[in-house]
A = this chain, B = another copy of it.
Amino acid sequence: MRPREFDHDDVLRIAFDQFWRKGVRGTSLSDIARDAGVQRGSLYNAFGSKEALFLQAYERYAGDYLVALQKALGAGSLRKRLTAFFDLTITNFRSGSPPRGCPTTRGLMELGAAEGEGLDEEARQAFANLVSRITALVQETLAAGAARGEFNGNAAAAALHIITVTRGLAVLERAFGDEPQLRKIAAHTIDLVLGKKGG
């Protein structure tokens, strides 16, 4: 068998970077091939389709992201944990180098707009999975906080509420790109869930 002339993971990293910065729709396999110094056909041979390539890149991203969130949610008081969680989320929206103007182009990555990005069922699923896992993480954190008396309420409902706000922030970021505003909303959400700062 003939050996591959490129590194599978390198391509995945290069592709992810472009998807992240320019959106899935805005990135062609020709772009990725050029950047990776690979023939377009070779990518089709190795990955099958643009969507398959995207899914692999996305899974890697999702894994890394979950680890980072877990870390953010694992230190200090419940309020500190949630603050770190929102901080990381918002920072994540704006990481990478935005190609044009203020609002960055994150395509499906933060919005799960699979169809809009020309992707299909599987991509939607992948996003839904990530959201579910993040929700579970937040819920565990709230439950632990409740055990320590830092929170009393329905952990499941509160986690769902928080994740919803998170997704809403992603939309607002795209529409307005106003980071300070996003942090205010996040702080307000924490206050609502945990009770005003005093409590």
Name A residues whose Cβ lies closer than 8 Å to a Cβ of B. 23-26, 101, 103, 105, 107-108, 111-118, 121, 124, 127-128, 131, 157-158, 160-161, 163-172, 174-176, 181, 184-185, 188-189, 192-193
**Shortest distance from the beta carbon of A114 to any chain B beta carbon, whole Å:** 8
Residues of B within 8 A of A170 (CB): 171
- Is A113's CB under 8 angstroms from B174's CB? yes
Taken together, the copies of this chain in the complex come to 2
- Is B124's CB under 8 angstroms from A115's CB? no
Residues of B within 8 A of A124 (CB): 103, 174-175
Partner of A192 from the list B23, B118, B193 (CB cut-off 8 Å) is: B193
Docked pose: A113 CA to B160 CA in angstroms: 22
Docked pose: A101 CA to B127 CA in angstroms: 16
**CB-CB nearest in chain B for A113:** B113
- Is B174's CB under 8 angstroms from A168's CB? no
Residues of B within 8 A of A167 (CB): 167-168, 171-172
Residues of B within 8 A of A127 (CB): 175
18 of the cross-chain contacts (CB-CB < 8 Å) are A23-B116, A25-B117, A26-B115, A101-B121, A103-B124, A111-B171, A112-B171, A112-B174, A112-B175, A124-B174, A128-B175, A157-B184, A157-B188, A158-B188, A160-B181, A161-B188, A163-B172, A167-B171
- Is B25's CB under 8 angstroms from A118's CB? yes
Residues of B within 8 A of A175 (CB): 112, 124, 127-128, 131
- Is B112's CB under 8 angstroms from A107's CB? no
- Is B174's CB under 8 angstroms from A164's CB? no
Docked pose: A198 CA to B164 CA in angstroms: 24
**CB-CB nearest in chain B for A105:** B115
- Is B165's CB under 8 angstroms from A164's CB? yes
- Is A164's CB under 8 angstroms from B172's CB? yes
Residues of B within 8 A of A160 (CB): 181, 184-185, 188
